[in-house]
Amino acid sequence: MNSFYKKSSIFLILLFPILFIKQCEKRATHFVKEVAYIPCDESYSDIVGANFSTNCVNNLSKIPDFQLLSHNGDTITNSSLIGENYILHFFFAACPVVCKQNISKISDYIYAKDRYGNKPFEEEEIKILSISIDNDSPEEMRRYMGNFRDIDTGVQKKIDTNSNWFFLTGDKDYVRQFASSMSQFVENNFKSKDEDHYGYGHSEYVLLVDKEGFFRMNIDSLLWSAQTHNEMKILTKDIQALVLAQNSQEYKTIKISKENSDTISNSNNVKIMQ
């Protein structure tokens, strides 16, 4: 009898961790924080950095069509990026301060390895698009990537030309129109009373696009400024949440609903919580 109780106790002790892990997995996949879509709605016109795209599908804001040339001379389009999550922002190679600050923070939080050699994301989880507003040539962009240094510390942050970071270029007017179609500010010919050509300007914000080409926003209904460490930390967590949701079984059965874009459900109405 004692032997029976002893064996039963050992069995329960061994079984408990398995049941606990299974329950945790169940809870994790049933209640995943979802990074919200951006509706094509005038009420979202007060979103910092943007309002909504001119490209609307099922009343959700989607990346407009684009075609740009990469630093390696490849043509990159919105269609070629279907199936990929990516962030995008604007820069130009001759930018003295702001662009370098933005790229440094994107590198630190989204791209670069830490001191242990670990990257924040696997290359297949997120791509990075840095889009030139000054029609920089592929050669100029490759040189920029290879020589890039942190503007504050002077530390070299070389960007691998064969990695998941793509520097893109195109006609100035084309890029400006593309940015405008996403409610992003880009101006490559400021005018002033004293000078015909006053300078360049562009949005400091980072846009997040999911595998289906839809824009996402953070939990505060905002975009992410690449000028602040805090917002880039938030972006990192939001990308992690997006990837986790996409890897869950519930997300794999998604059909975007016009009536309910902030909650994803499977056939059993198990929700991924926003």
Higher pLDDT, 48 or 110: 110
Q: Which residue has the higher pLDDT, 110 or 8?
A: 110
pLDDT tens per residue across span 191-210: 555 554 446 667 788 999 99
The per-residue pLDDT of the chain, averaged, comes to 78
| In a domain? residue 189 | yes
pLDDT given at position 181: 82
Domain assignment present for 247: no
| Domain assignment of residue 241, yes or no | no
Rounded Cα distance between 207 and 217, Å, is 8
In degrees rounded to 5, what are phi and psi of residue 20? -65, -45
Q: Look at residue 246 and tell me if it is in a domain.
A: no
Gap between the Cα atoms of 238 and 144, Å rounded: 28
CATH of the domain at 106: 3.40.30.10
Average pLDDT over residues 87-96: 91
Q: Distance between CA atoms of 175 and 216, rounded to whole angstroms?
A: 21
Residue 64 has pLDDT above 80, yes or no: yes
The residue-averaged pLDDT of 54-75 equals 93
Regarding beta strands 264-265 and 205-209, do their DSSP bridges make them parallel or antiparallel, or are they unpaired?
A: unpaired
Q: Does residue 259 form part of some domain?
A: no
CA 203, 205, 206: angle at the middle one, nearest 5?
A: 130
Give domain status of residue 67, yes or no: yes
Structural domain for 172, as ranges: 38-227
In-domain check, residue 27: no
Residue 170 — φ and ψ, nearest 5°?
A: -175, 180
Q: What is the rounded average pLDDT of the residues 94-108?
A: 92
Q: Please give the residue that has the higher pLDDT: either 213 or 182.
A: 213
Q: Report the pLDDT value the prediction gives residue 156, as an integer from 0 to 100.
A: 92
Q: Binning pLDDT at 50, 70 and 90, where does residue 250 land?
A: low
- pLDDT tops 90 at residue 63: yes
In a domain, 260, yes or no: no
Domain count for the chain, please give it. 1
Residue 269 pLDDT class (50, 70, 90 cuts):
very low
Closest CA to 173 of 202, 129, 201, 133: 133
